[in-house]
Amino acid sequence: MNPDELRRTSCLFLQDVYKSYGSKLVLDDIDLAVAAGEIVTVVGPSGCGKSTLLRLILGQELHSSGTVLVDGQPCGFADRSRGIVYQKYSLYPHLNVLDNVLLGLRLSCGVFERWRRRKAFEDEAMTYLARMGLQEHARKYPHELSGGMRQRVAIAQSLIIKPKILLMDEPFGALDPGSRENMQIFLLELWEEFGMTIFFVTHDLEEAVFLGTRIIVLSQHYTDGRGNDGEVRRGARIVSDRALPKEAQSTLVKTAARFGELIQQIRQEGFDPKYLRHAGSFDLTHPHSFQTLRKEECGQ
Amino acid sequence: MSATPPKFLGIHATPPKWLRWLLHLIPFVLLIIVYGIASDLRHRENPADKLLPPAAKMYEAMRQAAFEENVRTGKYQLWTDTGASLRRIGIGLGASACCGLLCGLILGLFVGMEQLVLPFLTFVSIIPPLAVLPILFIVFGVDELAKVMLIFIGTFPLITRDIQLTVKRIPREQIIKACTLGASQFSLAWRIVLPQIMPRLIETVRMSMGPAWLFLIAAEAIAATSGLGYRIFLVRRYLAMELIIPYVLWIVLIGAIVDFGLRLILRTRYAWYLQAQE
C-alpha cells in the first residue's frame, strides 16, 4: 500500500519521524503504519530507542520532526486516545483497586455527572475487575497486591476508557517467569475479547514473538548511502518488520522449531553489531510496512 | 548448632520487647536519680539553694500556677500562658502549613511557576527569621500578629520546599498516566497529587514543630504579656528554677502529645503511605 492510503486508514501512522537529544540522534527516519486490531511488538538492543518511540506515540515526549498520527489526528501531549501501561508506577498508591480503575470514568465527566452515574460507573469497573479475576481484591491498596495483580489492575485501568491504542512499555518486565507467562496468555485472551490495538515494547524476544501479530525490530546496526565513517550521526531504524502467524494460542508454541528459528533470525537482524544490512534492503515484509528513504541514503 | 542472637550488644542484637521498654526508660530514670542526688547534696550545704530545687518545691510552684488564682491578675497563670502560646503557634504553623501546601503544590507541578518563585523562595529561606524580628515588631506592632508572623516566616519556606520536592518525586509516569485517563490540570492537582502529598505535609509539620517553638519562645521572651516563653524569661529574674524546670517539662509534654497526635493521624488515615514507603 502506498503511504497516502496508509495515512488515511491506519490506527497509528508515523512518517519521517526523527528524535534527537542535543546532538545525539536516537530515532532516524521512522516510518510505520499500524492497522487497528494488531498487536505490534517492538524489540531491539537495549538503548536503541524502543521506549523513546513509545513515549513519542504516547505524547510523553515530542518528536523532533516528522508526522505522528493516532487515528488520523496529529498526536499532541498524552490524552484519552492512548492508554498506557508502564512496568511500574502505573497505579496510584493512595487509591484502592476499585478507585484506581474508576479513575478514568470519574475524570471523564463533571462533578454532577459523576455523582449521578456513580452506581453505573462502579458496576462497570467491577465488571472489568471481574474479568481480571480481581473482584475480591477491589478494596485493597496497590501495595497489598502481587506484581502480576498490579499489572492486571493497570490494564483494566487503561482499558476502561477504551483508548484507540494501548501502549505497553515492558509491562511484564518485573514479573517472575511464571506470572509473566500467565500475563502473556491473559493479555492475548483480552485481545481476542476486546480486539484492541496494542503497541508492546519489550526486550524479551520470546515474549515479542509469542504475543505479536506483527514484530518490529529497531536497531542502530545497519548501513546506508551516508557512508561508514564515524562522523555520520545515525539513529535507530526499523530494520525488520514482519507479520507473525497467529495460531492456536498455547505456550507450547514456544517450544516449536519454527518459533526458535524466527527468534534466531530476529536476533541476528537486530542485535548483532556485525550484521549490517543496507537501508535499502531491510527485511520489511509486512504488508503495511513502507519506507521513505532520502536520496543520500539510497546509494551504496 | 543454631546461634542465639545477643540481647543487647553488637549488630546482630535483637532485644526482646520487655528489654526494649527497659532500655527506653533507663536514661530517664538515670537523669532523675542524678538530679535528685545533686539537688540533695546542694541543699545539705545550703538549705536556701535556688539552682536545683527539690521535686516538692517544683510541685508547689506548679500547683500555685495551675490551680490558684493569681493575686494580681485573678487568672490561672499556667492555663492562660498555655492558651496564649498554643494559639500563637497554632495560627502561625497552621497558616504556614496551608500556604506551604498550596505553594509547594503549584511550584512542584508547574515548571514556569517554579522558575519564577523558587530562587526568591530560596533567598527568603536563608534569612535568619530572628534577624528580622525587629522589623516584624516595627511593622506589625508588638501584639500577637508579629509573633504569629515570625513563626510563619520561620517555617513557611521549609514546608513549601519540602512539599515541592515531594511533588517532584511523584513519578512522571503517574502524571502522564493521569493525562491518558483524561485528567485536566486541575483534577490532576486535586485528585492525584494533593492526596499523595497530604501525609508528607503531616510529617513536615511534625518536623517544623521544633523551629516553631523556638521562634515562639524567642518572640515571647522579647515582648509579651503572657505565654510560656514569656513566663520562663520573666521568672528568670528571680532565679525561680522551681517554676522554670516544670514549665520546660510542660512544653515538652505538649510537644510530645501533638507529635503523637500527628503520627496517629498518619497511621490511621494514611496507612498506604507508610507501607508504600518500604
Query: What pLDDT does residue B264 have?
Result: 94
Q: For A143, which of B181, B191, B272 is closest by C-beta distance?
A: B272
Query: What pLDDT does residue A228 have?
Result: 67
Q: For A60, which of B176, B182, B191 is closest by C-beta distance?
A: B176
Contacts of A104 in chain B (CB under 8 A): 181-182
Q: Mean pLDDT, to the nearest integer, of A172-180? A: 87
Query: What pLDDT does residue A74 have?
Result: 86
Indicate whether A278 pLDDT > 80: no
Query: What pLDDT does residue B255 have?
Result: 94
**Terminus-to-terminus CA distance in chain B, angstroms?**
33
Residue of A27 and B195 predicted with greater confidence: B195
For B34-70, the three-class secondary structure string (H helix, E strand, C coil) is: HHHHHHHHHHHHCCCCCCCCCHHHHHHHHHHHHHCEC
Least Cα separation, residue A106 to chain B (angstroms):
9
Indicate whether A299 pLDDT > 70: no
Query: What pLDDT does residue B161 have?
Result: 94
Indicate whether B9 pLDDT > 70: yes
Q: Mean pLDDT, to the nearest integer, of A208-237? A: 80
Query: What pLDDT does residue A36 have?
Result: 87
Q: For A94, which of B171, B173, B195 is closest by C-beta distance?
A: B195
Q: Do B176 and A108 touch (CB under 8 A)?
A: no
Helix or strand run (H / E) with residue A241? strand A237-243
Q: Which of A94, A113, A158, A169 to mutate to test the interface with B (most CBs of B within 10 A)?
A: A94
ipTM value, please give it. 0.87
Query: What pLDDT does residue A85 have?
Result: 92
Amino acid, res. B32:
I
Q: Which of B176, B181, B277 to mutate to test the interface with A (most CBs of A within 10 A)?
A: B181
Query: What pLDDT does residue A223 have?
Result: 78
Is B191 part of the contact surface with chain A (CB cutoff 8 Å)?
yes
Query: What pLDDT does residue A249 have?
Result: 62
Indicate whether A279 pLDDT > 70: yes
Is B178 part of the contact surface with chain A (CB cutoff 8 Å)?
yes
Query: What pLDDT does residue B107 have?
Result: 94
Q: Mean pLDDT, to the nearest integer, of B67-95? A: 89
Is B273 part of the contact surface with chain A (CB cutoff 8 Å)?
yes
The one-character DSSP state at A278 is B
Query: What pLDDT does residue B253 have?
Result: 95
Least Cα separation, residue A204 to chain B (angstroms):
22
The one-character DSSP state at B238 is G
Indicate whether B259 pLDDT > 60: yes
Indicate whether A257 pLDDT > 80: no
Residue of B9 and B24 predicted with greater confidence: B24
Indicate whether B278 pLDDT > 70: no
Alpha helices in chain A, H assignment, sequence order: 3-9, 50-58, 97-107, 111-116, 118-131, 147-159, 177-194, 205-211, 257-271, 295-298
Indicate whether B145 pLDDT > 80: yes
What b/e string do you get for A167-197 counting C-beta neighbours within 10 Å, with b at 16 or more? Answer: bbbbbbbebeeebbbebbebbbebbeeeebb
Q: Domain spanning A3-81+164-298 has what CATH number? A: 3.40.50.300
Query: What pLDDT does residue A247 have?
Result: 62
Q: For B180, which of A83, A93, A106 is closest by C-beta distance?
A: A83
Least Cα separation, residue B262 to chain A (angstroms):
18
**A65-70 sheet: strands from edge to edge:** A24-34, A12-21, A65-70, A73-74
Indicate whether A119 pLDDT > 60: yes
pLDDT tens-place string over residues B113-124: 999 999 999 999
Question: Which residue in A has a C-alpha nearest to residue B169's C-alpha?
Answer: A89
Domain boundaries, chain A: 3-81+164-298, 92-162
Least Cα separation, residue A276 to chain B (angstroms):
35
pLDDT tens-place string over residues A146-163: 888 999 899 999 989 888
Average pLDDT, chain B: 90
Query: What pLDDT does residue A109 have?
Result: 79
Q: Mean pLDDT, to the nearest integer, of B49-73? A: 85
Is B186 part of the contact surface with chain A (CB cutoff 8 Å)?
no
Indicate whether A248 pLDDT > 70: no
Please give the interface size between A and B, counted as residue pairs whose CB atoms are below 8 Å apart: 75
Is B276 part of the contact surface with chain A (CB cutoff 8 Å)?
yes
Q: Do B182 and A107 touch (CB under 8 A)?
A: yes
Contacts of B178 in chain A (CB under 8 A): 103, 107
Average pLDDT, chain A: 84
Indicate whether A45 pLDDT > 80: yes
Question: Which residue in A has a C-alpha nearest to residue B271's C-alpha?
Answer: A94
Query: What pLDDT does residue A245 have?
Result: 77
Least Cα separation, residue A278 to chain B (angstroms):
37
> B134: closest CA among B61, B219, B20, B248?
B219
Q: What angle do CA A147, A153, A154 make, to 5 degrees?
A: 90
To the nearest whole percent, how much of chain A has pLDDT over 70?
A: 94
Q: For A84, which of B177, B182, B196 is closest by C-beta distance?
A: B177
Q: Do B181 and A77 touch (CB under 8 A)?
A: no
Indicate whether A179 pLDDT > 90: no
Give the global pTM. Answer: 0.86
Q: Do B174 and A88 touch (CB under 8 A)?
A: no
Q: Do B181 and A94 touch (CB under 8 A)?
A: no
Q: Look up residue A99 and give its three cell numbers.
A: 478507585
Contacts of A107 in chain B (CB under 8 A): 178, 181-184, 187, 191
To the nearest whole percent, how much of chain B has pLDDT over 90?
A: 61
Q: Domain spanning B66-70+79-276 has what CATH number? A: 1.10.3720.10
Is B192 part of the contact surface with chain A (CB cutoff 8 Å)?
yes
Is B277 part of the contact surface with chain A (CB cutoff 8 Å)?
no
